[in-house]
């Protein structure tokens, strides 16, 4: 066994130095730290985390007791709980009971000696005192999931009563004939509540109930198939549904009936089954997060009823058209995602969709031509132009479709203000909501040697930058060093392709310094703030990997390929990071200054469309839970999934959780306080034109550039504020 003395001898340093490095203590130079870590790696030494825990007297182990990981809902629950625990240096020890109470009591005896921080259990017992009387931890740290036992203190569950009501409503409206319910034993409260709610709301229907223990589900699936013929079978988990399908395959020559299954939320589709989803992934994540956040509190409560996700897809939801619609949109990740699934709309509605994909500026050229935009039924417009052009080209949406009205009503006010309303009237729905975010190489920022070298260079700790001064300092550090961990790595990547993109880079820094573009009734840069923002951008530009591209995708690709340590970009262009080889090493943070620009765009029906019903059906389809999920999984950002807690999407795009909290700080100035609107697109072009020129100079006169921008904004104020 390798000891600290062995490492000290190999590294040529003292025992105390090795101890300090391995335990993250002491003021050790980066040179000695590198010697110790290389020696430890060479000798095959692993730091004993359990020993550290024993020394600190704190347990970072959570015990999880589940029926079986063969049940998909609990496999997903465990996987997401484990991911959350691992992210904050906790571990989860898993036990499976197979719903055997004797086995569960044995597990309780086994874990007494482990001193866990908490216990999460889906119990097959009748009384919670079996836990409380045998395990010496606080009752509030033992959390029961879905099954409510006698004397339980902390209980978390999905709303199984509502699930029964929702499925009963769907059956009542869409399914005729004989119905079977295949469920677990009635002594489990989740099965009991679901069964009662379903039967009470279908009391006029012929329903046969089959109950089964976990160990006898397969033989009971055959019993259902052989005993009778059903038009619909409801099951309380996906495992039962799969067993039924196998039983029909081997034991029946009849057509498989419609199967409705309670299931964990995941990206799945089946012609044999209709799923009613509960987000077990999100539940696993939240339960662990709450445990760790409250671990040291005396007065705490975890009990909660989580809402169901419900049906993503419902039968007979689409209207039928023999028509075609034409959509003008931009070349973007959301558009690419839409192209992949648009066949689904066409085959369900008999409406052909023609996507006309243009560049950012080409879309605006079409909109500015009063004849060309009228050729389209739906137009995707960037939010930089929505406030200015929206009333000109779009018809109000309210009252055209109940589902669209409900969708708009459910959006938060700050989303409505930026992406929906003009003068309190809804002219559009969000298509690809986006904000600027900072992505960074977490493996680099958390590397002990990199951190030590940064301290030696700057006499400050390497942290995620919260100001652009610090952002530029970190860029310079990476660029001026070539030790192994940062070799061939630039501090940051950025683009400089056109007026719009460089204006966004500049305004981000301007807003970070608390500047405003609109003051009183003037479009105007504050001179002092504007000069400082120019200096920050100029330094950033001179020290970054600059990519001559017209849009943010290229700088993200450079980061994705490991060429830079940081990148700031609009999150709808960052979906490629989810497929990156370095995905696990990527951290997400707010932009420095925490005032990101809002980005993305909206979709609205043109005033000229003669296909109003088909066009509104398209918007309804696009914003349905089923299609929103697919658009997001394919790299887009629809409003419903941007704002949701869907664990499937959050697992693929972990930055959505932060973006959801940060967007309220987002800024894009399009209207004066008196309600007068500005042409932001052309305003940003003016700013970007001068900034691009500034960046080419060796010694720019910042003050002069601010004066020139303000002079041009003043000269063109009438054009920028008076709509024809």
Same domain, 105 and 254: yes
What is the spatial distance between Cα 581 and Cα 566, in angstroms, rounded to a whole number?
16
479 part of a folded domain: yes
What is the spatial distance between Cα 364 and Cα 380, in angstroms, rounded to a whole number? 10
d(CA 66, CA 80): 14
Whole-model pTM?
0.80
pLDDT band at 48 (very low <50, low <70, confident <90, very high): very low
Write down the residue that tokens 């943070």 correspond to.
589
Query: Which whole number is the average pLDDT over 557-575?
Result: 85
Q: Quick one: which of 532, 435, 542, 445 has its CA closest to 494?
A: 542
Residue 658 maps to a domain:
no
Instruction: Decide: helix, strand or coil at residue 618.
Output: helix
Check whether residue 312 and residue 332 sit in a common domain.
no
User: Is residue 629 scored above 90 in pLDDT?
Assistant: no
Question: Does the structure show a pLDDT above 70 at 284?
Answer: yes
Three-state DSSP at 182 gives strand
User: 470 is written with which tokens?
Assistant: 């610090």
Span 672-712, pLDDT tens digits: 999 899 999 999 999 999 999 999 999 999 999 999 999 99
Give mean pLDDT, residues 525-551: 92
For position 684, which CATH number holds?
Answer: 3.40.190.10
Query: Helix/strand/coil (H, E, C) string of 577-608?
Result: HHHCCCHHHEEEECCCCCCCEEECEEEEEECC
Q: Tens digit of pLDDT for each residue in 375-424?
A: 999 999 999 999 999 999 999 999 999 989 999 998 999 899 999 999 99
CA distance 506 to 502: 6
161-174 per-position pLDDT tens digit: 999 999 999 999 88
Do residues 204 and 219 share a domain? yes
Domain count, the chain: 4
Q: What CATH code is carried by the domain that includes residue 33?
A: 1.10.260.40
What is the rounded average pLDDT for all residues in the chain?
90
Task: Specify the residue for token string 């970072």.
Answer: 60
H helical segments located in 486-611 = 499-512, 527-543, 553-560
- 307 CB-side CA count, 13 A: 6
Asked whether 94 and 78 are in contact (CB, 8 A), the reply is yes
Residues 404, 478, single domain; the answer is no
Residues, the chain: 724
Q: Do 259 and 372 fall into the same domain?
A: no
pLDDT at 47 over 60: no
291 domain-assigned: yes
Residues 251 and 387 in one domain: no
Higher per-residue pLDDT: 490 or 482: 490
Q: What is the dihedral angle through the alpha carbons of 714, 715, 718, 720, rounded to the nearest 10 degrees? A: -70
CA distances from 718 to 48, 176, 524, 683, 713 (A): 70, 66, 13, 12, 9
Say whether both 133 and 80 belong to one domain: yes
**pLDDT of the residue at 190:** 94
Q: Quick one: which H or E segment has residue 668?
A: none
Q: How many contiguous H segments (helices) and E segments (strands) does the chain have? A: 31, 27
Strand partners, 543: none
Domain, as residue range, for 137: 61-89+98-113+124-316
- Residue 91 pLDDT: 93
Contact in structure between 509 and 502 (CB atoms under 8 Å): no
pLDDT of residue 408: 93
The confidence band for 601, taking pLDDT boundaries of 50, 70 and 90, is: very high
**pLDDT single digits (tens) 245-261:** 999 999 999 889 999 99
Evaluate if residue 646 carries a pLDDT over 80.
no
Q: Give the pLDDT confidence score for residue 13 in this predicted structure.
A: 86
Contact 157, 138 (CB under 8 A): no
Predicted confidence band at 22 (pLDDT cuts at 50, 70, 90)? Answer: confident
Alpha carbon distance 668, 383 (integer Å): 8
- Does the pLDDT of residue 643 top 70, yes or no? no
**Chosen domain end from 644, 677, 698:** 644
Q: Which two tokens stand for residue 692?
A: 């691009």
The H or E element containing residue 203 is none
Q: Is 634 exposed, middle or buried (0-12, 13-18, 19+ CB in 10 A)?
A: middle
Better-scored residue on pLDDT, 488 or 56: 488
Q: For residue 41, is it within any domain?
A: yes
Is residue 637 situated within a structural domain?
yes
Longest dimension (CA), the chain: 88
Strand partners for 331: none
Over 60: is that where the pLDDT of 724 sits?
no
Question: Distance of CA 106 to CAs 97, 289, 573, Å?
Answer: 9, 28, 52
Q: For 568-574, what is the mean pLDDT?
A: 83
Lowest mean pLDDT of 45-54, 158-167, 214-223, 306-315, name the range: 45-54
**Cα dihedral sign, 682-685-687-693:** negative
Give the tens place of pLDDT for each residue, 89-125. 899 999 999 999 999 999 999 998 778 999 999 999 9
The count of C-alpha atoms lying within 13 angstroms of the C-alpha of 129, restricted to the half-sphere facing its C-beta, is 3
- Does the residue 556 lie in any domain? yes
Q: Among 316, 336, 370, give the residue marking a domain's end.
A: 316
Domain final residue pick, 264, 295, 316: 316
Residues 639 and 717 in one domain: no
Of 240, 261, 125, 97, nearest in space to 194 by CA:
261
Q: Is residue 608 part of a domain?
A: yes
Residues 235 and 157 reside in one and the same domain: yes
Ranges of beta strands (E only) in 427-530 are: 429-430, 434-441, 490-495, 518-519, 522-523
Looking up tokens 């029906």, which residue turns up? 605
For residue 520, what are its two tokens?
Answer: 């009183």
Q: Are residues 178 and 308 in the same domain?
A: yes
In a domain, 489, yes or no: yes
Asked if residue 410 and residue 549 are part of one domain, the reply reads: no
Residues 481, 605 share a domain: no
Query: Can you give the pLDDT at residue 641?
Result: 63
A 10 A CB-CB count for 519 gives: 14
Pair 380, 391: CB distance under 8 Å: no
């Amino acid at each position: 066994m390798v000891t600290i003395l062995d490492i000290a001898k190999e590294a040529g340093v003292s025992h105390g130095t090795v101890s300090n490095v391995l335990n993250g203590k002491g003021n050790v130079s980066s040179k000695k730290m590198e010697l110790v870590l290389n020696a430890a790696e060479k000798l095959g030494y692993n730091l004993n985390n359990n020993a550290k825990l024993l020394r600190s007297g704190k347990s970072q182990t959570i015990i999880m007791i589940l029926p079986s990981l063969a049940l998909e809902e609990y496999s997903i629950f465990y996987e997401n709980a484990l991911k959350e625990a691992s992210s904050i240096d906790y571990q989860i020890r898993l036990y499976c009971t197979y719903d055997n109470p004797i086995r569960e009591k044995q597990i309780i005896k086994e874990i007494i000696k482990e001193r866990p921080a908490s216990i999460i259990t889906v119990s097959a017992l009748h009384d919670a005192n079996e836990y409380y009387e045998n395990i010496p931890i606080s009752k509030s740290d033992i959390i029961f999931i879905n099954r409510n036992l006698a004397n339980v203190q902390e209980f978390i569950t999905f709303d199984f009563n509502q699930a029964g009501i929702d499925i009963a409503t769907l059956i009542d409206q869409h399914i005729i004939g004989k119905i079977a319910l295949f469920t677990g034993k009635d002594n489990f409260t989740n099965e009991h509540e679901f069964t009662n709610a379903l039967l009470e709301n279908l009391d006029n229907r012929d329903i046969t109930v089959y109950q089964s223990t976990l160990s006898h589900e397969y033989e009971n699936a055959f019993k259902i198939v052989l005993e009778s013929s059903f038009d619909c079978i409801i099951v309380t988990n996906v495992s039962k549904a799969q067993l039924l399908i196998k039983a029909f395959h081997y034991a029946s020559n009849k057509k498989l009936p419609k199967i409705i299954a309670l299931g964990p939320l995941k990206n799945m589709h089946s012609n044999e089954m209709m799923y009613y989803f509960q987000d077990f992934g999100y539940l696993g994540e939240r339960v662990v997060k709450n445990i760790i956040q409250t671990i040291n509190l005396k007065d705490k409560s975890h009990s909660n009823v989580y809402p169901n996700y419900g049906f993503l897809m419902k039968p007979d939801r689409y209207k039928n058209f023999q028509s075609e619609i034409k959509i003008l949109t931009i070349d973007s990740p959301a558009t690419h995602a839409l192209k992949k699934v648009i066949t689904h709309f066409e085959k369900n509605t008999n409406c052909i969709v023609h996507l006309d994909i243009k560049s950012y500026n080409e879309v605006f050229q079409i909109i500015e031509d009063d004849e060309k935009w009228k050729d389209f039924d739906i137009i995707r417009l960037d939010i930089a132009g929505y406030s200015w052009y929206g009333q000109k080209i779009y018809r109000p949406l309210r009252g055209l479709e109940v589902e669209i009205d409900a969708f708009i009503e459910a959006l938060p006010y700050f989303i409505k203000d930026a992406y929906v309303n003009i003068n309190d009237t809804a002219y559009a729905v969000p298509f690809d909501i986006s904000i600027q975010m900072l992505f960074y190489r977490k493996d680099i920022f958390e590397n002990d040697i990199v951190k030590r070298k940064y301290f030696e260079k700057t006499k400050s700790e390497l942290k995620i930058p919260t100001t652009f001064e610090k952002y530029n300092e970190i860029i310079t550090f990476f660029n001026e060093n070539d030790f192994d961990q940062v070799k061939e790595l630039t501090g940051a990547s950025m683009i400089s392709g056109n007026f719009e993109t460089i204006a966004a880079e500049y305004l981000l820094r301007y807003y970070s310094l608390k500047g405003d573009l609109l003051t009183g009734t003037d479009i105007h840069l504050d001179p002092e703030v504007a000069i400082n923002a120019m200096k920050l951008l100029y330094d950033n530009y001179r020290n970054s990997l600059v990519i001559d591209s017209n849009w943010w995708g290229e700088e993200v690709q450079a980061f994705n390929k490991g060429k830079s340590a940081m990148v700031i970009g609009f999150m709808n262009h960052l979906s490629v990071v989810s497929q990156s080889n370095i995905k696990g090493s990527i951290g997400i943070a707010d932009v420095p200054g925490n005032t990101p620009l809002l980005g993305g765009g909206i979709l609205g029906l043109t005033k000229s469309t003669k296909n109003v019903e088909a066009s509104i059906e398209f918007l309804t389809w696009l914003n349905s839970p089923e299609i929103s999920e697919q658009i997001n999984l394919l790299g887009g950002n629809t409003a419903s999934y941007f704002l949701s807690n869907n664990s499937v999407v959050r697992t693929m795009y972990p930055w959505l959780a932060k973006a959801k909290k940060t967007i309220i700080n987002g800024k894009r100035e399009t209207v004066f306080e008196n309600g007068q609107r500005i042409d932001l697109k052309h305003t940003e072009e003016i700013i970007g034109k001068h900034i691009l020129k500034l960046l080419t100079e060796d010694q720019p006169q910042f003050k002069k550039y601010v004066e020139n921008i303000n002079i041009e904004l003043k000269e063109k104020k009438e054009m920028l504020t008076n709509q024809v």
